[in-house]
Amino acid sequence: MKKDTVRFVCSECGREESKWLGRCPSCGSWNSFVEEKVIASSSNKTQQVMPIIDKEIKSLSDVAVDEATRFDSGISELDRVLGGGIMRPSSVLVGGEPGIGKSTIMLQMLSSSAVQGSVLYVSGEESPSQVKLRAIRLGLDLKSINIFCDTRLEALLDVIEKISPAVVVIDSLQTLSTSTVPSIAGSPNQMRACCYALSMVAKTKNIAMFFIGHVTKEGVLAGPKIVEHLVDTVLYFEHAETGVRFLRAVKNRFGSVDEIGIFRMDSDGLKAVKDPSEFFISTKRGEELPAGIAYTAVVEGSRTFLVEIQALTVPAKSGLSRVYSDRIDVARINRIAAILERHAGIRLSDQDIYINVAGGMKINEVSIELAVALALYSARNGKPLSSDLVSFGELSLAGEVRPVSFLEKRVKASNDLGFINILSPTKLPDLKMSTCKNIKQAIMISSALK
């Protein structure tokens, strides 16, 4: 009979070692190894049998493809991010900071979805009375939601087998545990085993399975990375300074990862934001802009909206200039500043540069580079830009302004909000637009517009 032993498992990536290590060789995390007891297997112990999707070997051309089932979640922004609605079968992992609204949006989805069949909410962190009080506050239909408050995987599988739900929400994945894994709930091995078992059950039982996941202080999903590989879709909730919530997909087997859902939190739950520009443009139309403000249009999936770029320059302290920007990549700001200094004669090497995006949204699009450059020019010279000016273009190291994609969508979104001066490297026919070939010409045109 083998004796019980111990092993050490990395809490970040799940790597196993026979002894404790200060730094994980796989993911590089420090002090991430935790001790787990390995119980010797016995012949009379019942092991959890994982479901098998298909054990036959066949040609790919002979595989039967069922018609995919997609239904509305009842929340337009969630449907947008998921690729048009909830798929059956599927497994979705939803992560975000504490209190951002993960449980709230899942309860709202269960109450308002157009699915044909029962739904199940599995709560491992709250009692049934707590969940009911929240549902009452949100004004949800209590009779449409079944609740189960047991974190044992075996008990949960029995309930799923008994009621055959169409949608299951697990709140949260870190609270689940199975007797086949000798470690506490929330450990990497427990999360991996429970996620794998439930994902396979979702595929065999035609269930839409949603997992709510915790995040670490670094802002990434807690647990082994393999959990994100096991599920079909990974969603992240982000929080902006204005109280707006952003829902993004970093992985989606059934749709695009370029879509973004925008919500605001009210007393009765999360509400979809239909016109995002009202949150990202702080200055009222027609008012004179302060120096350092520029507008641009960004495209997120099928949605186009305008954002306000804010820039500020002040003399550098101790002769060492720095860049402060947490909404746009600092390396991009440094590159734009170098282009302005080299090709437009605007000295920024002796200035501290502050860049912000109104509304707190993080932007990675290259189309914002021209607007950032104009905002820096305006801030450095103290000359406001026209309040009716919208610019978009990519800057090259040679000082050229290059075309960007989805020009028609950007121009239409700008005109719909009353912006009449459009500055771009290319021009659409039959439209009044200003074109520029380089950054120096763009500055001249923007300075002439009032």
Residue pLDDT, tens place only, 110-139:
999 988 889 999 999 999 999 999 999 999
Q: Look at residue 83 and give its three-state secondary structure.
A: coil
The pLDDT of residue 301 is 79
The pLDDT of residue 153 is 94
Q: Is 101 annotated as a binding residue?
A: yes
The pLDDT of residue 183 is 77
The pLDDT of residue 61 is 86
Cα gap 312→322, rounded to integer Å: 12
How far, in whole angstroms, is CA 214 from its chain's centroid? 14
Q: Is 59 annotated as a binding residue?
A: no
Of residues 53, 92, 379, 57, the one with CA closest to residue 212: 92
Ranges 288-302, 336-350, 405-419, most confident: 336-350
Sign of CA dihedral 11, 15, 18, 19: negative
Q: Model-level pTM?
A: 0.78
For the chain, what's the residue count?
Answer: 450
Q: Is 99 annotated as a binding residue?
A: yes
The pLDDT of residue 241 is 64
Q: Is 225 annotated as a binding residue?
A: no
Residue pLDDT, tens place only, 187-234:
888 888 999 999 999 999 999 999 999 887 777 787 778 899 999 999
Cα gap 361→359, rounded to integer Å: 6
The pLDDT of residue 43 is 41
Q: Is 26 annotated as a binding residue?
A: no
Across 86-93, average pLDDT: 94
- For residues 368 and 405, is the Cβ–Cβ distance under 8 A? no
User: Which pair of structure tokens corresponds to residue 434?
Assistant: 């200003």
Q: Is 100 annotated as a binding residue?
A: yes
| % of the chain at pLDDT higher than 70 | 92
Question: Domain 279-448 maps to which CATH number in 3.40.50.2300, 3.40.50.300, 3.30.230.10, 3.30.70.100?
Answer: 3.30.230.10
Residue pLDDT, tens place only, 32-52:
887 776 655 444 443 444 555
- For residues 434 and 422, is the Cβ–Cβ distance under 8 A? yes
Is residue 3's pLDDT more than 70?
no
Residue pLDDT, tens place only, 290-343:
999 999 999 987 888 899 999 999 999 877 889 999 889 999 999 999 999 999
Residue 298 amino acid letter: V
Residue 14 amino acid letter: G
Cα gap 11→226, rounded to integer Å: 12
Cα gap 118→110, rounded to integer Å: 9
Residue pLDDT, tens place only, 360-386:
888 889 999 999 999 999 999 999 999
Domains in the chain: boundaries: 5-38, 69-274, 279-448
Q: Is 118 annotated as a binding residue?
A: no
- For residues 108 and 75, is the Cβ–Cβ distance under 8 A? yes
- Please, what is the average pLDDT of the chain? 87
Cα gap 446→94, rounded to integer Å: 43
Question: Domain 69-274 maps to which CATH number in 3.40.50.300, 3.30.2010.10, 3.40.718.10, 2.40.37.10?
Answer: 3.40.50.300
Q: Is 97 annotated as a binding residue?
A: yes
